[in-house]
Structure 1
Amino acid sequence: MNGLSLRDTTHEAKLRHIKKELKCVIDAVTTVVFVPTCYYAFPSPLYWLIIKPETAQQKLYPEALPTLDPCPEKLVVFAIALADAARPISMSYFRTPIQAEIKHDKSPVTIADKEAEAKMREMIEAHFPEHGIFGEEYGPVRTDAEFIWVLDPIDGTKSFLIGKPLFGTLVGLLHKGRAIAGIVDMPALDERWIGATGYATKFNGMPVSTRSCNSLSEAWMLSTSPEMFVGENQTAFHRLKDKVHFLRYGTDCMGYGLLANGYADIVCEADMSPYDYIALTPVVEGAGGTITDWRGNPLNLKNDGTVLAVGDKNLLKPAMAALVC
């Protein structure tokens, strides 16, 4: 990074430089957390700057977020650690000749999925044994717990299998049924979104925000695959598709990160499971967006599998009107 001498290697010097780089929002920095990882530009420990929610809202997306209790910092740090642990496992198998099993729902699963989730579960059991776990590969435990970790070790296994780098690891955390923290990690792209209630969403360490969009006719929409939509859902999706400016497929979980960064306006999907969308919720909301099911209900473990995310909250009602007639 410009301005950082090779000799200026103390943590204090690095922090001073980060603060200079973030001068546009530096008065919002309230806490520095040391995370044992080498994910970002600096060697460990990493500085994860937590942004005061009220300042983030004023500077990044006024009136976009409701007043929320901030997610406990130690849980955000632990969520990052889970993603850090899963990343080298998935990358060790990426673009190697591995076989896939076909699950009962006809979706593929690989040894990478299983090992990455097993590692994250092991860490949760060691550090928070009272917490619940809802994972894609090994099922739920303690789902009556106050806190529940929702894990998708490889979101986009089909992309992973064909060597396409648009797969991700999703780490979500529910508190009393509400998503309060989410990590969208893209191992092959070295990109990561961190979302937590009460804080601005961060993309590779920098705050991001959604963009404004005045109407569906101007909206850029993303979705993973047309195969997600069957029957009435297919008809409903086509109604919305016909109203937006254009649609692009093939994004998997990355589409929600792109929406958070302000590159797209709508993500619309169906046939989703909780481990597909819980982690996405704080990422979208922390950037100023809104994410619900197609009827506007908050996302939790009991939704119908439909997901609608919008960057501009003014798009939510017209998008829902197109989907639900």
Structure 2
Amino acid sequence: MASAHLTAALEAARAASDLIRKAYRGNFDVQYKADASPVTEVDVAAERAIKAVLQKHFPDYGFYGEETGRDHADAEYLWLVDPIDGTKSFVRGYPIFSVQIALMHKGELIAGVSCAPCWNEGLGELVWAEKGAGAWRGLLDTPMDQFERWQVSSVDQLNKATLSTGNLTTLARAPQWAALGTLIPQLHRIRGYGDFVHYHLLASGKIDAVVESDVNILDIAALTVIVREAGGTLTDLNGGPVTLDIRTVRASNGKLHAAFDSLAL
């Protein structure tokens, strides 16, 4: 049975998804932040909808959102929210974007919801995880009792492993870029699924590792809980903990985690 935390996060994700689905491939205003990344009026509206739901259920919890910033971020419980992770995809009209909602308690990630409202030819995909309760997947409108439990793969050799990479800008500028080049010929396959997609594939056992060198906590907080509850491991590239300041990711089925030690920055 879903906890009160998870119930609120799922309600918030569905509220945001309703707004996003209605706006997808429509006309909306696009602005650009200082780092040249896009933000739309839909991002802002979706985050406000999420925040309203979460604050209705837990008015004393902190909130850290991609668009509206931090509100009581020093609270014992902190919601971490990216209303549209993959805004560039949303703007261009292809469905590789998601709603990301996670809950952190005293620095530990304890619950996460990753919802891709326009994935699967518009049927959507909803994945949730909670500490000690596993990782579960269904379509956006699937009843909770019909969700399937996810488990990472058991692959333990690089020559049988599939690695997916995301944004590698920082790694490409570092000496460790050569180490990645050394690893690639040892792998069965390398792909670049990106955003929520490769974490969902990892948690469901379809690929075996993910490497990214340019992320922020709001991108991967919920996905961290999902990967871990599916039996995997997610750290920064150095093997360190996931904190509010994380910038890199090494995620794996756990059995292969040490194989990527050479990528530590």
Counterpart of 1:265, as a letter, is D
Question: For the Cα contact (< 8 Å) 2:131–2:225, is it kept in 1?
Answer: yes
Q: 2:153 aligns with which of 195, 201, 211?
A: 211
2:179 and 2:104 map into 1 onto residues whose CA distance is 29
* 1:120-142 CA-partner distances (Å, limit 9, x unpaired): 11222222121111111111121
Give the Å deviation of 1:227: 4.5
Question: Which position in structure 1 is the counterpart of 2:126?
Answer: 192
Does residue 192 of structure 2 align to residue 260 of structure 1?
no
Question: For the Cα contact (< 8 Å) 1:179–1:282, is it kept in 2?
Answer: yes
1:174 and 1:149 map into 2 onto residues whose CA distance is 6
SS of the equivalent of 1:104 reads coil
Question: Which position in structure 1 is the counterpart of 2:144?
Answer: none
Question: Which position in structure 2 is the counterpart of 1:324?
Answer: 264
Question: For the Cα contact (< 8 Å) 2:109–2:221, is it kept in 1?
Answer: yes
Question: For the Cα contact (< 8 Å) 1:168–1:254, is it kept in 2?
Answer: no
Q: 1:119 aligns with which of 29, 49, 67?
A: 49
Counterpart of 2:153, as a letter, is R
Identical amino acids, percent of aligned pairs: 33
1:160 and 1:229 map into 2 onto residues whose CA distance is 26
Question: Which position in structure 2 is the counterpart of 1:221?
Answer: 163
C-alpha RMSD of the superposition: 1.8
SS of the equivalent of 1:278 reads helix
1:104-253 to structure 2, matched below 5 A, reads: 104-189=34-119, 190-204=124-138, 205-227=147-169, 229-232=171-174, 234-235=177-178, 237-253=180-196
Where does the alignment leave 5 or more consecutive residues of structure 1 unmatched? 1-30, 34-72
In our comparison, the structure showing a higher alpha carbon Rg is: 1
SS of the equivalent of 2:251 reads strand
* 1:262-285 CA-partner distances (Å, limit 9, x unpaired): 110011112111101111111001
Of stretches 91-100 and 185-194 in structure 1, the one that deviates more from structure 2 is 91-100
Question: Which position in structure 2 is the counterpart of 1:9?
Answer: none
Where does the alignment leave 5 or more consecutive residues of structure 2 unmatched? 139-146
Q: Normalising to structure 1: TM-score of the pair?
A: 0.73
Question: For the Cα contact (< 8 Å) 1:225–1:250, is it kept in 2?
Answer: no
Of stretches 117-126 and 281-290 in structure 1, the one that deviates more from structure 2 is 117-126
Give the Å deviation of 1:225: 4.1
Counterpart of 1:307, as a letter, is V
Question: For the Cα contact (< 8 Å) 1:221–1:264, is it kept in 2?
Answer: yes
Of stretches 277-286 and 232-241 in structure 1, the one that deviates more from structure 2 is 232-241
Q: 2:26 aligns with which of 96, 100, 123?
A: 96
SS of the equivalent of 1:257 reads helix
SS of the equivalent of 1:284 reads helix
Does residue 219 of structure 2 align to residue 289 of structure 1?
no
Of stretches 163-172 and 216-225 in structure 1, the one that deviates more from structure 2 is 216-225
* 1:177-227 CA-partner distances (Å, limit 9, x unpaired): 011001110100211111110011101111110111122232101123455
SS of the equivalent of 2:51 reads helix
Counterpart of 1:213, as a letter, is V
Number of residue pairs matched? 252
**Residues 292/226 of structure 1: CA separation in 2 closer, same or farther (3 Å cut):** closer
SS of the equivalent of 2:78 reads strand
Counterpart of 2:113, as a letter, is I
Question: Which position in structure 1 is the counterpart of 2:219?
Answer: 276
* 1:17-46 CA-partner distances (Å, limit 9, x unpaired): xxxxxxxxxxxxxx4x5xxxxxxxxxxxxx
1:160 and 1:74 map into 2 onto residues whose CA distance is 30
SS of the equivalent of 1:256 reads helix
2:182 and 2:87 map into 1 onto residues whose CA distance is 29
Give the Å deviation of 1:301: 0.5
1:7-46 to structure 2, matched below 5 A, reads: 31=1
1:322 and 1:243 map into 2 onto residues whose CA distance is 14
2:82 and 2:55 map into 1 onto residues whose CA distance is 17
* 1:245-298 CA-partner distances (Å, limit 9, x unpaired): 222124311210111111100111121111011111110011111101011112
SS of the equivalent of 2:129 reads strand
